[in-house]
Amino acid sequence: MRNNFFYKQQIDMNTTFHFASAQEITPDIIDVIRRAYQEKPVSIHIQEYEPFVPAWQKQEVRRRDAITGKNPVCFLDGDEVISELESELKTS
């Protein structure tokens, strides 16, 4: 018995572009994607990145902030801030 069916294997290719903000997505980038994929079907997936800070860490920073009486507006490096707070607690 002859099989009249043929199987075409679909190979998916995933390409990921990372941008610091949506402002970095320029018409040039869209043109490059159009030229690269031409008539092929394309899916664009948008994923927002929200940095996750565990609740216990937020609570600890607030506790240490209350002890030292500081109110930092922005933490650039959490480890550095914690070390600084710990050294201040040791000296007081």
Cβ 69 vs Cβ 86: under 8 Å:
no
The string of pLDDT tens digits covering residues 18-51 is 888 889 989 998 899 899 888 888 888 888 877 7
Between 74 and 40, the more confident residue is: 40
- Crossing angle of helices 55-68 and 78-91, in 10° steps, is 40
**Count of residues making up the chain:** 92
| H-assigned helices in the chain | 27-37, 55-68, 78-91
Residue 5: pLDDT over 70: no
What dihedral angle (degrees, nearest 10) is formed by the CA atoms of 20, 60, 64, 91?
Answer: -100
Give pTM, 2 decimals.
0.39
Higher pLDDT, 15 or 4: 15
